[in-house]
Amino acid sequence: MAFITYDSEVDAVFVQIRKPVGGERGGESIDEWRHRHYDHAGNVCAYEFLFVDRGISLDGIPAEDAALIREAIEPVKRLAITRPPP
């Protein structure tokens, strides 16, 4: 099962889509707003999205991984950030 974490300081979402075999070994940039992370077996285990207040693009991410990401963010995509009146 996938899980999601959000870092408000950098406006980033980290989505682990599968348990990393042997732990995480690093990653690579997909583009300047997206990164993929690999486990020691060479499998993609997570994705990181930056500037998520602008949305999350799943373009170019394999369909199976994109489906897992959608599943992980479904419960939180309806949340809105509200600010108290001045």
In a domain, 37, yes or no: yes
Q: How many domains does the chain have?
A: 1
In a domain, 78, yes or no: no
The answer to whether the beta carbons of residues 45 and 20 sit under 8 Å apart is yes
In a domain, 26, yes or no: yes
Q: How confident is the model at residue 82 (pLDDT cuts 50, 70, 90)?
A: very low
**pTM of the shown model:** 0.85
Give the CA angle between residues 68, 62, 23 to the nearest 5°.
Answer: 65
pLDDT score for 53: 86
Of 77, 25, 76, whose CA–CA distance to 46 is shortest? Answer: 25
Bridge pairing between strands 44-50 and 34-39: antiparallel
Domain containing residue 25: 3-73
Q: What is the pLDDT of residues 25-52, one digit of tens each?
A: 999 999 999 999 999 999 999 999 999 8
